[in-house]
Amino acid sequence: MKTPIFTGSCTAMVTPYSSKDGSIDYERMDALLEMQVRGGTAAVVICGTTGENATQPIPEHEKLVEHCIEAVNGRMKVIAGVGSNDSNSALGMAKSAKAAGADGILMVTPYYNKSTQRGLVQHFSYVADRVDIPMILYNVPSRTGIGIALDTYIELAKHPNINGVKEASADFSLFGLTRAHCGDDLHIWSGNDDNTVPMMALGAKGVISVASNIVPEVISDMCAKALAGDFAAASAIYFRYAELMSKLFIETNPIPVKTALNLMGLNVGVFRLPLVDMAPANLEKLKKAMADVGLPVA
């Protein structure tokens, strides 16, 4: 039985980029982190998918992780994204995160290479064997082209450094079987905001959330009620924000959520190519969903 890195709401943080030159806006990043602290967020993921890590050179990635750990100063858990389709690159980022004082690492399945399940076991174990830091696996086959199978979860759950998984496959059968076979040897967090309440009803520890970038107190409260067993109250929160959660994925994440933050006046700047601004029709749908829950729309 393992202790989860966190319980409740974890925000998959956006990375603010300067509109002038596309560099990281560290002052704005600090403001976003303070917003999460005020909202009751339990943990943050830095340099994950929502943070546009695929376009960050490794030195920039490592500097941002170190900066955020210092800025948070123990007030929330900090988890560093270290996903790569190169096991050695993932190992290097994991070692850097450990040295910087991260509380854990998040490691996605290797994209494009399309590993076998045996390869997945070796890929994750290669890092977990060499860095003594809790690892969260990340299963998101819609992005990577490969999912983690039940037998692979069962095998990886045996590793003392593999703490759990961000499960974003939306496969509730896989989730249920994994819980049944692995129990608290492999903690599970929802990887999709709209799956959080039903997954927590079956034992998930919380969510690694996109929506909490803009409504951290809402997602924190929803998770707290679910952890307390009040699923009627947690469901009521979800139903109020269901349309917004949906519209945050009307285009590829993080395009809608960064757009929403900019509409709220939080000025997270530009995207890095190949991500681009939202299509006008989708932008109007996002604005409506935001206005419907009382969020400011510039």
- Out of 77, 153, 166, 287, the active site residue is 166
Asked, for residue 263, whether it belongs to a domain, the answer is: no
Three-state SS string across 201-253, please? Answer: HCCCCEEEECHHHCCHHHHHHHHHHHHCCCHHHHHHHHHHHHHHHHHCCCCCC
Burial class (CB in 10 A: 0-12, 13-18, 19+), 57: exposed
pLDDT in tens, 208-240: 999 999 999 999 999 999 999 999 999 999 999
Q: Report the distance separating Cα 118 and Cα 249, nearest Å.
A: 32
Amino acid at the residue 108? V
CATH of the domain at 158: 3.20.20.70
pLDDT in tens, 81-110: 999 999 999 999 999 999 999 999 999 999
241 is catalytic: no
Asked, for residue 248, whether it belongs to a domain, the answer is: no
pLDDT in tens, 113-145: 989 999 999 999 999 999 999 999 999 999 999
Asked, for residue 257, whether it belongs to a domain, the answer is: no
Token pair recorded at residue 52: 């546009």
Q: Report the distance separating Cα 125 and Cα 138, nearest Å.
A: 14
CB neighbour burial string for 69-93, b if at least 16 within 10 angstroms, e if fewer? bebbeeebbbbbbbbbbebeebbbb
158 is catalytic: no
Q: Is the pTM higher than 0.95?
A: yes
Asked, for residue 165, whether it belongs to a domain, the answer is: yes
Number of domains comprising the chain: 1
Asked, for residue 27, whether it belongs to a domain, the answer is: yes
DSSP state of 188: E
Residue among 113, 194, 116 at smallest CA distance from 149 = 116
What is the span of the domain harbouring residue 67?
8-240
Q: How far is CA 297 from CA 27, 109, 283, in A?
A: 23, 36, 11
Asked, for residue 289, whether it belongs to a domain, the answer is: no
Asked, for residue 3, whether it belongs to a domain, the answer is: no
pLDDT in tens, 23-37: 999 999 999 999 999
Asked, for residue 265, whether it belongs to a domain, the answer is: no
- Out of 17, 77, 138, 205, the active site residue is 138
